[in-house]
A and B are shown apart, each in its own frame.
Chain A
Amino acid sequence: MINVTIDGVRVEVPKGATILEAAQEAGIRIPTLCYLKKLSPIGSCRMCVVEVEGCTKPVTACDTPAGDGMVVTTDSEELREMRRDVLRLLLVRHPLDCPVCDKGGECDLQDLVYEFGVTAESYRTEPFERDVPRYVSPFIRQWPDRCVLCGRCVRACKEVKGVGCIQIVDNGFYSYIGPVPGVECISCGECLSVCPVGALTDSVHPTKARIWQAERVPTTCGYCGVGCQLELNVLNGEVIRVTTTDFDRAPNFGSLCVKGRFGWEFVNHPDRLEKPLVRKDGELKEATWDEALGLVARKLQEIKDEHGADAVGGLSSARCTNEENYLFQKFMRAVIGTNNVDHCARL
């Protein structure tokens, strides 16, 4: 363990912890943009600059390991002005289309610009035109002009998903996020979930809503047994998208697969069964749960009485949770009385 003093607060952190982590330990917030806890820090946005006693130049808190006895200052007029300049430079290219941006209201850049009071475009470049090849997926829309090139999406794609289908293409002012030739996107949307601005948006559902209009309902993904946590964004009783905002929450820490993130349209589909159906006179008709379950129980009992318990078999689903699967086999063994139970993911 090492001792670090952040803005006069002394904290003890493990060796190897960054200055940013030490500051978090001390309860001190350092503004960040490219940093994301679950990704490797790269120190590219330069928002998290801090002063370290004995060092002639500011250093980035997110990727500089703290040292024993280090004394750090996280806030000064000079540091604030450096941070403001980062934002001013980002606004040189970032369009102020916040009113029509899906991310408006939950945009890190918007929040920082607001916090630091950067009101005008202090710097400018000559007008230029460029036609950037977009990286295209049926579910993800890219807005290259809004991109702040923080590289979160590139890192998430590689580090979290192990795919690595996007990279920073070209260099300098003209660089952009583009596809890696030969590596296919799996449309998992990891990039989308980590983008701090509206450079990557969800293009599944046509309904738009400001972030504060939709209700976020935390739930568990039903596609498989992992139990990924997600939030259904619900507007007027209809799901309009899936988000993940809590990157600390097990088991998925904000990650989802393509089905979990984008495969929710069935929820609103008119053909979706919402009530049990029971066949009456050769036709499926809506019934109550009590009616349907009572029928199933009665039929099972009849089969068991007539042919024995082993005449019944149960097949369970990988889309059920572990607990549900446990209960199912318990039901088969203890209630029906047979070992004829299997699961679609057994093989």
Chain B
Amino acid sequence: MADRIFSSWGGQVLDSRQGTAKGADDVPIPRSLPSGTPLLGLMGWDGLAVWDGRANPIDMARAYAEGLVRYSCGQCVPCRVGSKVIFDALSRVCEGRGEPGDVATVERLAERLRNQAMCDLGRSCGKAFSDLVTHFRAELDEAIGKKAKVPRGEYRLKVTAPCKSACPAHLDIPTYVELIKKGRFEDSLEVIRQDNCLPGTVGRVCVRPCEFNCRRQNVDGPVQIKYLKRFVADYELDRNRPPRLPKPTPDKEKVAIVGAGPAGLSCAYYLAQLGYDVTVFEALPEPGGMAAVGIPDYRLPRWILRREADLIADLGVTVRYNTEVGRDVTWDDLVKGGFKAVFLAVGARLGTGLRAPGEEDAKEGFMRGADFLRDVALGKPVFVGKRLVVVGGGNVAIDCVRTGLRVGYEKVTLVYRRTEAEMPADKVEIADAKAEGIEFLFLHNPTRLVLDESGKVKGVELIKMELGEPDESGRRRPVPIEGSEFVLETDAVIPAIGQAIDLGFLPEDAPVKADRRNQIQVEGLNKLAAVVDGVGVFSAGDCVTGPLTLIAGLAGGKEAAFQIDRFLREERTEPLEEWVMNEYVAQLKPYDPAEDVGVPATTEPAHIHHVPVEERIQDFREAEIGFTHEEAIADASRCLRCYRLLLVAPEPEGRGLETGN
């Protein structure tokens, strides 16, 4: 038996108002917000649901229509005017002034929204109004007939989109893509900068969860969101336009940030804009953390990253490079040095080993992936032979093979224990590596290093693998085939199978807790790790989550900044309402890969251009060339603008958002 009085969510109607449940299986909807507040009802892109009689669907629809009036962009007629006509009709009904034709008006215009609105904001909102009229017609007629006022509830509204919801930093993708379509490139960049302080960087190397949640791929391929972001960032750079960033004055408390990687920079970016006096301590001689020394220059030219970090410094942030906390600055300097909050964003900078015999004894030809990439990035000498074997299937492994080729290895092989289909690396990256002549050896795993007497790598012993049952990640587990070992001759071996967190800077007695993988333990969305004598210690990024992505680091830093602000202003931590709603929306899964979008498949994604292989493998020049204006505008025009509006009715004691007039 379902927990709901009524639900039309997920294409299934469930109606237990008459004491008997109609409808088939329950479509699960989380009953409570992630903050714990229970919901009375909900209305959104997939219909409506009522758990509690205190939630009145007619008033919910009125508030939902009000939200649509507020968020409708105003371009298309059915949504611009239709939303207001619907809202006014429902308002009349709720105020006891309903007229006989009002229900028919709502019904008809809801249908127009669903089929005729230009973008998916109107289209998706139409369903809720249709469902209201279909399933609550008697209630509507009664309210109109009796001229009875409908009690007004308190609601929270949330605008989202499948791409926006999938992005860890929740960039307002449909808006900035649409501005590109209109040729308003700098306005687009301004929108991006609200949620992302490294647009040119992310526009080059993001793993782009947005594109994997883009509804256009159900039609004819996703909108090229990543490259569009790069395009507007490059537009500003190429034309030497002054970035549209504020000039805040640091007149608030001092905050220390450990690490100038994506999370640290992002946190500094928001704190500085909020007026805090921020100092960032960075062990490396330059900004970016793993983005600088983990991502090779042919994917992300360092000057792009440096410029974007400089813009953050221009907000009034002090960045102290070559300053390693634990060596040049002590823990006590941070928590007792006048800083009111400390943000730990040290990332996961250590490379991990092969966990195979021989690696301890290797004197030459064995390097850990993260170390190899860092040394190359910093211009330090690395061992270069003729043949190189890289072990791993992620983006770091691909970075290692392509970097290996560029530093002078002649034959580079990537060894991965599963097949290409299971490789976590970006498909585009895999294709680029193949084009550059990298050899891929799938279903093999190293069992030991083969060394000569002096400790030089001579080869690596591999065992053949086959795929067995799926593991908890859903990928089929690789199983070694007994007795299939053989030795592959090579001069060097690089494992690129993970990174580890270095918490060596923390003294033994620091109250910051970490798990067995050295992941710093924080209070969920609050990002609070500890409070030391009134100083709030926060943490986010790879050192909390384990190695993730650049955009996740940026998101973590941003969330931490707002938590630090709340901590310093209100002396408390509590997840911001926006993030609570973001989490809830994600649970509702706004992207449906099986949906028939109903648009003809007559476009194709714009293709990025590449520097020819023979030229690009000579050095670390950028391998990809950005979109032209025409390509960017054409691709941006493919966006379906899948905004979705969600209304929830929380328990009244919850901190609700009053949406009434």
Residues on A facing B (Cβ under 8 Å): 40, 42-46, 49, 52, 54-60, 63-67, 70, 82, 85-86, 89-90, 92-93, 123-126, 148-149, 151, 158-159, 164, 168, 170-175
Contact = CB atoms under 8 A, between A and B. Distances in A.
Given A42-B75, A170-B74, A63 B81 contact: no
28 contacts: A42-B75, A44-B76, A57-B599, A58-B115, A70-B600, A82-B115, A85-B112, A86-B77, A89-B81, A89-B85, A90-B77, A92-B81, A92-B84, A93-B81, A123-B109, A124-B85, A125-B84, A126-B91, A126-B92, A148-B77, A149-B75, A151-B75, A158-B183, A172-B69, A172-B70, A172-B71, A172-B80, A173-B83
B77 A173 contact: no
Contacts of A44: 75-77, 118
B86 to A, nearest CB: 10
Contacts of A170: 74
A170 B601 CA distance: 32
Contacts of A89: 77-78, 81-82, 85
Contact of B599 (A59, A85, A126): A59
Interface in B74-109: 74-85, 88, 91-92, 105, 108-109
Interface string B108-152: 110010111110000000000000000000000000000000000
A172 B72 contact: yes
B73 A45 contact: no
Nearest to A53: B600
Given A42-B75, A173-B69, A175-B74, A66 B91 contact: no
B88 A172 contact: no
Nearest to B68: A172
B74 A173 contact: yes
A149 to B, nearest CB: 6
B322 interface: no
Pick the 5 closest A-B CB pairs, nearest first. A175-B74, A172-B72, A67-B602, A173-B84, A56-B598
Given A92-B81, A125-B84, 13 more contacts: A46-B76, A46-B77, A58-B115, A67-B601, A70-B600, A85-B78, A86-B77, A123-B109, A149-B74, A158-B183, A170-B74, A171-B71, A172-B69
Interface string B640-654: 000000000000000
Contacts of B637: 63
Given A44-B118, A46-B118, A55-B600, A125 B75 contact: no
A247 B105 CA distance: 40
B75 A55 contact: no
A173 B81 contact: yes
B603 interface: yes
A70 B118 CA distance: 21
Contacts of B74: 149, 168, 170-175
B81 A171 contact: no
B633 to A, nearest CB: 8
A41 to B, nearest CB: 9
B116 A49 contact: yes
Most chain B C-beta atoms within 10 Å of own C-beta, residue among A42, A57, A58: A57
B596 interface: yes
Contact of A82 (B69, B105, B116): B116
A318 to B, nearest CB: 32
Contacts of B112: 82, 85
Contacts of A42: 75
Nearest to A52: B600
A66 B88 CA distance: 38
Most chain B C-beta atoms within 10 Å of own C-beta, residue among A59, A65, A93: A65
A168 B75 contact: yes
Given A89-B85, A158-B183, A175 B80 contact: yes
Nearest to B79: A172
**Main SS at interface, chain B:** helix
A63 B117 CA distance: 14
A126 B74 CA distance: 18
B81 A65 contact: no
A79 B77 CA distance: 15
Contacts of B598: 55-57
A90 B115 contact: no
Given A85-B112, A171-B71, A59 B600 contact: yes
Nearest to A47: B77
A171 B109 contact: no
B78 A86 contact: yes
A21 B31 CA distance: 50
B383 to A, nearest CB: 52
Nearest to A151: B75
A55 B115 CA distance: 11
Contact of A67 (B76, B79, B600): B600
B81 A46 contact: no
Contacts of B602: 64-67, 70
A58 B114 CA distance: 10
B184 to A, nearest CB: 8
Given A85-B112, A158-B183, A43 B118 contact: yes
A44 B77 CA distance: 7
A175 B109 CA distance: 20
Contacts of B109: 85, 123
A248 to B, nearest CB: 23
Contacts of B601: 67
B291 to A, nearest CB: 34
A44 B73 CA distance: 11
A46 B78 contact: yes
Nearest to B85: A123
Given A168-B75, A175-B74, A149 B80 contact: yes
Most chain A C-beta atoms within 10 Å of own C-beta, residue among B70, B76, B184, B601: B76
A63 B118 CA distance: 11
B111 to A, nearest CB: 9
A57 to B, nearest CB: 4
A35 to B, nearest CB: 13
A185 B92 CA distance: 42
Interface in B588-618: 596, 598-603
A58 B116 CA distance: 7
A49 B76 CA distance: 12
Contacts of A65: 600, 602-603
A30 to B, nearest CB: 15
Nearest to B121: A172
B167 to A, nearest CB: 22
Contacts of B115: 57-58, 82
A347 B73 CA distance: 49
Contacts of A54: 600
Contacts of B78: 46, 85-86, 89
B241 to A, nearest CB: 14
Interface in B207-266: none
Contacts of A59: 599-600
A125 B87 CA distance: 9
A56 B596 contact: yes
A222 to B, nearest CB: 33
B77 A126 contact: no
A135 B621 CA distance: 48
A15 to B, nearest CB: 9
Contacts of B83: 172-173
Nearest to B108: A85
A43 B639 CA distance: 13
A124 B85 CA distance: 6
B313 to A, nearest CB: 27
Contacts of B88: 124-126
Nearest to B114: A57
B594 to A, nearest CB: 14
Contacts of B77: 44-46, 86, 89-90, 148
B600 A171 contact: no
Contacts of B68: 172
A274 B183 CA distance: 48
B206 to A, nearest CB: 28
